[in-house]
Amino acid sequence: MLDKTSKDFLAYLEKMPSHTMDWSGDLPTQFGSGDELRAMVRYLNNLGYTERVTSQYGASLAVQLSHKGLKRKEFQRQELLRYLEEKWIDFFSLLVSSAALIISIIAIASKP
């Protein structure tokens, strides 16, 4: 699940040229300190929304959006559909039990 800052950062990367933010320039301050920004980028990397651009020696040069980051609304919709597919029986059970509760309340209320 993404927090507001992570969503804002992904939107920021979408507006950048080639969807990439270079670590060598001035870091954007609206996402917190440098440590907070790097922690957020690590989190987004773990979720698959961003990728590190590294030098031949392994030093991190930039961060860029991955395919999942570029198409995140589509991936979120697929995750929601998968969740509903797994939980449809729970929703159906909730409806049946709610209907039974309402019928019981009406039956009790209509007795003299």
pLDDT of residue 43: 93
Handedness of CA 28, 33, 38, 39 (dihedral sign): negative
Greater confidence, 25 or 106? 106
- Write down the domain spans for the chain: 4-70, 71-112
Alpha carbon of 97 to those of 25, 83, 85: distances in Å?
58, 21, 20
CA distances from 94 to 25, 104, 106, 107 (A): 53, 15, 18, 20
Where does residue 45 rank: exposed (0-12), middle (13-18), buried (19+ CB within 10 A)? Answer: middle
Mean pLDDT of 5-15: 90
Q: What strands, in cross-sheet order, belong to the sheet with 50-54?
A: 20-22, 60-65, 50-54
Q: How far is CA 109 from the centre of its chain?
A: 46
Looking at residue 49, its pLDDT comes to 92
- In tens, the pLDDT along 20-38 reads 888 877 778 888 888 888 8
CATH class of 4-70: mainly alpha
Q: pLDDT tens digits, residue range 35-92?
A: 888 899 999 999 999 998 888 887 788 889 999 998 989 998 999 999 999 999 999 9
**What integer pLDDT is reported at residue 94 of this predicted model?**
94
The pTM of the full predicted model, rounded to 2 decimals, is 0.70
| 3-state SS class at 104 | helix
Q: What is the mean pLDDT of residues 15-21?
A: 87
